[in-house]
Structure 1
Amino acid sequence: MKRKDIFVFATSFILITTLFIGAGSSKPVFVKNTNENGFVFLELFTSEGCSSCPRADELLGNVQKQSGDKPIYILAYHVDYWDHNGWKDMFSSAENTKRQYWYANKLKSQVYTPQVVANGKTVFVGSNKTALTNALENNVQASSTNTLKLTGKREAGKMAITYRVSGSKDAELMIATAQKNAERQIKNGENSGRTLHHVQIVRKLDAFKLSNMGVGQVNILLPNEFTAGQWEVVGFLQDKRTGEISAADRL
């Protein structure tokens, strides 16, 4: 590689890192190269009892702020195996831990926090800025033959969701109800005395079998605290054999 090419590559990499991971408000430039069906789906496994986790929350929080309406999706699952270590995470659940172990089995990976799974295919440490930047760049430029479109109608305590999919045969429709932001004062454990900021907290995850016609309607129950401005409903198609996520959409 020529010196000039090395300089251009390094400059581009730094620019991408700054726009997505830094505190600036610039728009992410690499999304200009997004394929029509390219998207990034990031699932963070985290805990308030883990001193390494706040950095991952911060990185993904910056991605959340700067992604806008781009095809970048974030879900954070708070696991419960840290709860015995001096502080119980109010967002943790055994179901979230079970999902992380399910991924570990599918992807032949270890279980740790903070851990990110990208598009159901790759695993990396959630506080690793370089790995996160690479996942953003590589997946948003990839392409999928599957598509998912969602529309929803909110009723008292629930939501009726109509879906339309194409190209999918072995996937399940997963619907996550996520709280966009939360701030918590931690009084014990490894993060004692810290104020933690969380993003895209999964409060509920539902799975549905797809209609053979590719069009259908499902119903989900909404948490009592649900408000349209502070919560998000995210749907995605996941191959239950491999774990790969092939399409996503949000309401």
Structure 2
Amino acid sequence: MNKTVLRILAVVPALALTFAALAHPVRAQDQSALLTVVELFTSQACPRSPAGDHNLSAIAQRPDVLALTFPVTYWDYLGWADTFALEEFTQRQKFYIERLKDQWLYTPQAVVQGQQGVSAEDAEALEVAIANTRQLSQSLPTPRLSDDRSTLTIMQDRLTEQANTVLQVVFFERGPITVEVTSGKNAGKTLSYVNVVRSLAEMNSDMLAVPESLRDLSCAVLLQDQRDGTILGASVCPPADIN
């Protein structure tokens, strides 16, 4: 069911600050544990989406998976406006549809590692897609947050050498979050979500200014090839930095 464009946050220009002075001390991340990114495009107005939301919640418990919920706007006309949906998330789904074979715009649709689309209602198909795309992952440097969580820093030396790639930072609410739907096709249902994305931004330098409204959220960075949508790697902000 349909729309996503990246929301660009204010990027801090190059500052004469050292990485050590900026960064909050954290536990070292195990870079051998590669993450597979699963993006779920869902809608509170879609009667088929709750099954996909449930399946994403199940795989979100896995340490080798970064599961992200992207609520979309194109079913809002069915009598209920999704309370989390953003137009840029719809545009992100369309970005994938333009690049993936045999895919069309619908919910609940999962995109695994930016390379394979599958119905999130089918838990077995989702597991197969995760297994088939694991080899595409690579490790990324650990992102770090300043003491007041106002600045995110990640070393990009080896990342910027890769052509046609962008480094994105995603802020998400771990949840679970529940929503009572009172109208539309899911009227009377209480829906539950995990890892609901609140913002996705492109990092154009080693540092990113974090708006106050996002500082209590979890975060991760994604390295994506803009030509075919492949997510080349992902890294989650360390647990020590997450409230």
How much does 1:217 deviate?
A: 1.6
Query: Per residue, is there more strand in 1 or in 2?
Result: 1
Residue 222 of structure 2 corresponds to which residue in structure 1? 236
Matches of 1:225 and 1:186 in 2, distance apart?
Answer: 25
How much does 1:243 deviate?
A: 0.3
Match of 1:147 among 124, 139, 145: 139
Q: Does the 8 A contact of 1:36 with 1:143 survive in 2?
A: no
Q: Does the 8 A contact of 2:41 with 2:70 survive in 1?
A: yes
Match of 2:87 among 80, 94, 108: 94
Query: Per residue, is there more helix in 1 or in 2?
Result: 1
Residue 103 of structure 1 corresponds to which residue in structure 2? 96
Q: Could you state the TM-score of these two structures normalised by the residue count of structure 2?
A: 0.76
Matches of 1:152 and 1:113 in 2, distance apart?
Answer: 34
Matches of 2:211 and 2:53 in 1, distance apart?
Answer: 24
- The change in CA–CA distance for 1:220 and 1:191 in structure 2 (over 3 A counts) is farther
How much does 1:223 deviate?
A: 5.5
Alignment of 1:118-137 (within 5 A): 118-137=112-131
- The change in CA–CA distance for 1:223 and 1:73 in structure 2 (over 3 A counts) is farther
How much does 1:221 deviate?
A: 2.5
Q: Which runs of 5+ in 2 are unaligned?
A: 1-30, 238-243
Superposition misfits of 4+ residues, deviation over 6 angstroms:
none
Q: Does the 8 A contact of 2:152 with 2:210 survive in 1?
A: no
Matches of 1:165 and 1:247 in 2, distance apart?
Answer: 15
Match of 2:166 among 163, 168, 172: 172
How many aligned positions are there?
203
How much does 1:219 deviate?
A: 1.0
Which shows bigger deviation, 129-138 or 110-119? Answer: 129-138
Instruction: Indicate the percent of aligned positions where both proteins have the same amino acid.
Output: 27
Q: Does the 8 A contact of 2:143 with 2:221 survive in 1?
A: no
Alignment of 1:71-86 (within 5 A): 71-86=64-79
Q: Could you state the TM-score of these two structures normalised by the residue count of structure 1?
A: 0.74
Q: Which runs of 5+ in 1 are unaligned?
A: 1-34, 210-215
